[in-house]
Amino acid sequence: MSILFSPLTVRDVTTRNRLWVAPMCQYSAVDGVPQEWHHTHLAQFASGGAGLVVAEATAVSPEGRISPEDVGIWNDEQRRAWEPITAAVRSRGAVAGVQLAHAGRKASTWSPFAGGSGSVPASDGGWEALAPSALAYEGYATPRALDTAGIDAVVADFAAAAARSIDAGFQVLEIHAAHGYLLHEFLSPLSNERTDEYGGSLENRARLLLRVVGAVRDAAPRAPLFVRFSATDWADGGLDVDETATVARWAADAGADLFDISSGGLVAHQRITPAPGYQVGLADHVRREAGVPVNAVGLIYDAAQAEQILQDGEADAIMAGREWLRDPHFALRAAGELGEEISYWPKQYVRARRRLA
């Protein structure tokens, strides 16, 4: 059997394969409540053979949304709306995961479908963004720097969202500390100019993340806990992959189990040259230096590419995003490409399992 189609167990949860669906924002919620679109969107990937399906960045508080159309899990109405969605994913043989998020200074922005750019004003349903320091992302409104009470509230919000997520039927929790959102903003010296215990040294800049990891672990003691990192800011003076590996070790000690390694998103002047698998080396570095399991993500298009990453020991699992959007049955197709006989083709689709010449 290929590594890609071998199971992976994290704590008490086993995914049937290592080809996973990355969290992808849909900007289609109403007051943070997921809609029928989210149900169909996520369930189709489970039907398509995914091992793990991770729901998009899900705000832990109203002010933690990227846009007014983001999903959330800060109240019980949202929890109830997630329940049939997680049940649909699980009933199709996949593991249901959720990415818990706070957008920080990149909150209260127009969704891609809204026609605006930059920050949403209060008159149009926007709100004041929060951040480690009063430094705006380019083109956005200046955020308010969190005080100590505000930081404590963020930790409490993540813990409450974690407990509510388990009640909603999610089996895996991921903390979003990447792509320029709040926890990443604290980690990077480009967005964190604090002079208190949450700024300055790497240990101080990582303090909020580690508090969140500990609080989420306490709220969900048995659930597999992932952390998504931007391993580098792709900008001079920013967070780099060596620092990320150090923080990953600390986060593992605090209760995290696996690390989802992405990159970028913190500053508009980042310099990235995307190419197939361009972030795999970052995942490999964190895996080796921190001694922790990781998944690779980013422009991973086909089965052979994904399998080779695992064969080379650069990652323990693969997340993909756009390829699942192009083909919601990516895993079924990938199994055929690798010559794997899997047992979880939907019986309704089994007639298409083999293509006749």
List of residues 6+ apart from 291 with CB closer than 8 A:
249
Amino acid at 287: R
pLDDT band at 357 (very low <50, low <70, confident <90, very high): very low
d(CA 197, CA 146): 13
Q: For the chain, give the longest Cα–Cα distance.
A: 68
The domain of 324 spans: 8-352
- Structure confidence at residue 170 (pLDDT): 98
For residue 163, give both structure tokens.
């407990």
For range 285-290, the mean pLDDT: 98
Q: What's the pLDDT tens digit per position in 236-262? A: 999 999 999 999 999 999 999 999 999
Q: What's the pLDDT tens digit per position in 31-56? A: 999 999 999 999 999 999 999 999 99
Residue 3 falls inside a structural domain: no
List of residues 6+ apart from 96 with CB closer than 8 A:
42, 53, 55, 85, 86, 89, 90, 169, 170, 171, 172
What is the reported pTM? 0.97
Residue 1 falls inside a structural domain: no
- Structure confidence at residue 356 (pLDDT): 54
Residue listed under structure tokens 């913190």: 266
For residue 339, give both structure tokens.
């010559």
- Structure confidence at residue 116 (pLDDT): 81
With a pLDDT cut of 90, the percent of the chain lying above it is 97
Residue 111 falls inside a structural domain: yes
The dihedrals phi and psi of 331, each to the nearest 5 degrees, come to -65, -40
Residue 357 falls inside a structural domain: no
Residue 2 falls inside a structural domain: no
Q: CA 221, 226, 228 angle in degrees (round to 5)?
A: 145
pLDDT band at 1 (very low <50, low <70, confident <90, very high): confident
Number of structural domains found in the chain: 1
Among 283, 58, 286, CA closest to 161: 58
Is 198 catalytic? The answer is no
Residue 95 CA from chain centroid, whole number: 15
Q: Using an 8 Å Cβ cutoff, are 19 and 330 in contact?
A: yes
Q: What is the CATH number of the domain that holds 317?
A: 3.20.20.70
For range 222-235, the mean pLDDT: 98
- The one catalytic residue in 137, 140, 181, 198 is 181
Average pLDDT of the chain, as a whole number: 97
Q: What is the DSSP string of 100-133?
A: EE--GGG-SB--TTSS--SBPPGGGT----EESS
Tell me: pLDDT of 142 over 70.
Answer: yes
Residue 105 falls inside a structural domain: yes
Among 316, 313, 308, CA closest to 224: 316
Residue 275 falls inside a structural domain: yes
Tell me: pLDDT of 114 over 90.
Answer: no
- Structure confidence at residue 151 (pLDDT): 98
